[in-house]
Amino acid sequence: MDSLFVNSLLEDLKNTDETIREQATKRLWRIWYQEKGIYGLEMIERSQKLLDSGEINQAEAVLTELVDDQPDFGEAWNRRAFLYYTTGEYQKSLVDCQMVLELNPAHFGALHGMGLCYAAIGQYIEAIGAFRRALKIQPFSLVNQKLILECTARLS
């Protein structure tokens, strides 16, 4: 990964121009998905097709194989975290999100996912913290701003 290019895209996420932010977001996701080349991308796509068709155990097996084979592939961990979130396995999702962030501290998707997991288990202070960390990277993210307000309301 070209860290100068990634850093430039991360800066673009803070730009007041929505088009620039959207392009940077798309490029970052593309970089993260393609970090391990065709093999990693094909495995992620395979797991998504399985998940879409309701074959959750098979999708998990594909992602676990990918994580075991490429433990430094942040997006593999992130996709498995997403799978765990969608199946209500919030603690497992949080563990995988943490791995993503160890590999890629700027992964706003993993921070958002952590916030969703914390909110789902009623840990609203932790959820707010995760959403705020995501906002430091993507300050114009309306969804994270909204989720902070929702979690704050649940505290009172």
DSSP state of 8: H
Residue 102 belongs to a domain: no
Residue 41 belongs to a domain: no
Burial of 28 (0-12, 13-18, 19+ CB in 10 A): buried
Residue 133 belongs to a domain: yes
The Cα 140–Cα 148 span in angstroms is 13
pLDDT at residue 156 in the model: 81
What is the full DSSP assignment across 17-58?
Answer: -HHHHHHHHHHHHHHHHTTTHHHHHHHHHHHHHHHHTT-HHH
Residue 62 belongs to a domain: no
Residue 115 belongs to a domain: yes
Residue 93 belongs to a domain: no
pLDDT at residue 3 in the model: 86
The Cα 31–Cα 108 span in angstroms is 14
Residue 31: alpha-carbon gap to chain centroid? 13
Residue 13 belongs to a domain: no
Number of domains in the chain: 1
Residue 137 belongs to a domain: yes
Q: Which domain holds residue 124?
A: 110-156
Structure tokens at 28: 């970052």
Residue 46: name the closest of 61, 31, 59 by CA. Answer: 59
Contact between 64 and 93 under an 8 Å Cβ cutoff? The reply is no
Q: What is the pLDDT along the chain (156 residues), one digit of tens a residue?
A: 568 899 999 999 999 999 999 999 999 999 999 999 999 999 999 999 999 999 999 999 999 999 999 999 999 999 999 999 999 999 999 999 999 999 999 999 999 999 999 999 999 999 999 999 999 999 999 999 999 999 999 998
